[in-house]
Homo-oligomer: A and B are copies of this chain.
């Protein structure tokens, strides 16, 4: 997707603070962090949102979640805890139409989380 900001970050056309990368996903720090640790994990393949997932994407999406847990450990927040979020659409505040998983932690978060 030529106009997608996350596709440009994945390609290296826009700089980012990358913390992990493999053939399936890229993880980088949110430029406007909402918590002491705020990392975005995005599939290297363009998918608009959770609404667009097919059965073929399940392994990829599960890989995002598992790597997020590994990055939480790397950040030293796995024990105290962290939150993983997929936002879809306007009600949830999805601002970039390339599916991404937020990893948030480093401080207590509000519960309930609406």
Contact = CB atoms under 8 A, between A and B. Distances in A.
A78 B69 contact: no
Query: How many copies of the shown chain assemble into the complex?
Result: 2
Given A85-B85, A109-B92, A57 B62 contact: yes
B58 A86 contact: no
B61 A65 contact: yes
A14 interface: no
B59 A59 contact: yes
B89 A65 contact: no
Contacts of A89: 78-82
A79 to B, nearest CB: 7
Contacts of A32: 112
Interface of A: 32, 34-35, 50-51, 53-55, 57-63, 65-66, 68-69, 72-73, 77-94, 102, 104-114
